[in-house]
Amino acid sequence: MVSATVARATAAAAALVTLMAVPAHAAVPGARAEALPAPDATGVWNVLRTAQRQGAPGAIARLDDGDTVRWAAVGVADRGTGRALGNADRFRIGSVTKTFSAVVLLQLADEGKLSLDAPVNRYLPKLLPDDRITVRHVLSHRSGLYDYTNDMFAKTVPGFEAVRTKVFTYRQLVKRSLAKPRTTAPGGAYSYSNTNFVVAGLLIEKLTGHSVRTEYRDRIIGPLKLKDTFYVHPGTKIPGRHTRGYLTPDTAGAALVDSTEQTVSWAQSAGAVISTTKDLHLFLSALLGGRLTSRAGLTEMRRMVPAGTGQAYGLGLRRRDLSCGVSVYGHTGAVQGYYTVAFASKDGKRSLTALANTSNNGTVLTTMLGALESAFCGKKTKARARTLRAERYEDVAPSVPVNRPAATGS
C-alpha cells in the first residue's frame, strides 16, 4: 500500500494509510456486533480528491474499523503558506456540536434533573411563547422555532462579516427567532433550526449553574481524554495546529474568504466546538458504544423521526440510510469555511470522520457525503448503483440553498 498522507501524494496513492492498531471499544452490553461490508478505502480517498477539484482547498478523512485506523489528506491547510493539510489539524466542527449538547442534556435526564417530555418553560419560565414545546421537541427539531440563521446568512459573505466578531447572548438569538412565525406546531414535522440548540445551551446552563464550556469539559472532553477538542467562545482563534477555513462566496468565481477567525457566537451550543477527526471518532464510538449515557438515554437519542430522503433525526443525532441497507449515526457540521461529516455504525465500531475546509459549496457538500457509501458499504456494485442525492442546504441557514460553483482546482 502506498502512503496517502499529504497533498504531495500522487494518484498512485489510491488508499488510506493504516496508522496503528487501537483497542476495540466497548459496546452496549448485550448488543450484537453489526456485520458490515468491507470498507472501500480507495473510494474514500477518491472522494477527497474530488472535493479538492470542486473547490475545497483541502480535505481529510479518518476511517476507524475495529482495530484498524486509516487516514488520508489532500490539499492545503493554509492557502497563504501552502502548508499541507494533515489529519492532526484541528477545525471547527459546526453542528456536530449539537450532539455534544444533546449528550449533556441526556446525562441530566439520567440524573433526574430533566424530563425530556417536560415543557421547556418549566425550566426557563416564559422563554418560549408556547408551553407545549418540550425538551424532546427542541432536541429533535420539532419545536417549530424559526431558524434565525436563515435571515442572518441569506447573503453568505456579508452576513458572515456582519457577525464575525460579534458576541451574542443566547436570549438575543432566541429573540431573533421569535420575531418570525413558527414553522410548525409543537411536535410537528421535523424542521431543522439552530434555534433549538441555542435553547439547549440555555437549558444546560440553567440546570447545572455552569457554562456550556464547563459541562462539555467535565462530562465529555475530560472523561474521554479528547486532547484536541475545545469550546472557544467568545475567543476567535483556534488553538494549536489547525486548518484555516475558506468560505465560498455566493458570486460565481469570487475569491474564497478566509473565515478562520470568528467568535461563532451566532451558534454557540449549536455549532462552536473545535475538534479533530480522531477526537470525533472517540466521541462517536463512546456515545454509540453506550459509554456516555444510560442505555435508556441512548435509546431516546435513537428514537427517530423522518428528516428527508434516506435520513431521520433523533435527539441531536442524525441517521443516514445508505444504499447497501446499512444505517449510520452521527451528524454533519457546517460553519463558515468548514464542512464536517462524522458518522459511525450503530455499535460505534466503525466510523468515518471527514472535513473539507470550505463551506457554501453544495457540490463539495454532496461529494463529501459520498464518502459514507465507500466507508460503510464498500466497493460500488451494479446492484448498488444508486447515486447520492444532492443536498439542498447545509446546517447553516437551512432554508437558503447553498452555492454550486464550478470546479476551480483551487
Q: Which three cell numbers stand for residue 221?
A: 472532553
On the 0-12 / 13-18 / 19+ scale of CB atoms within 10 A, 326 is buried
- Catalytic one of 3, 95, 140, 265: 95
For residues 79 and 100, is the Cβ–Cβ distance under 8 A?
no
Does residue 95 carry a catalytic annotation? yes
CB 105 within 8 A of CB 203: yes
DSSP string for residues in 47-87: HHHHHHHTT-SEEEEEEEETTEEEEEEEEBS-TTT-PBP-T
**Cα–Cα distance for residue pair 198/265, rounded to 1 Å:** 10
Amino acid at 8: R
CA dist., res. 336 & res. 344, Å (int): 24
CB 246 within 8 A of CB 358: yes
The set of residues, in sequence order, having a beta carbon less than 8 Å from that of 21 and lying 6+ positions away, is 67, 68, 69
Which burial class, exposed, middle or buried, applies to 2 when counting CB atoms under 10 A from its CB (0-12, 13-18, 19+)? Answer: exposed
From edge to edge, which strands make up the β-sheet containing 273-275? Answer: 91-92, 273-275, 230-231
Report how far residue 114's alpha carbon sits from residue 34's, in angstroms, rounded to the nearest whole number. 32
Q: Tell me the residue type at 233.
A: H
- Within 10 A of 281 (CB to CB), how many other CB atoms are there? 25
Spacing of C-alpha 3 from chain mean position: 27
Of the candidates 125, 10, 49, 51, the residue with the CA atom closest to the CA atom of residue 357:
51
Please identify every residue annotated as catalytic.
Answer: 95
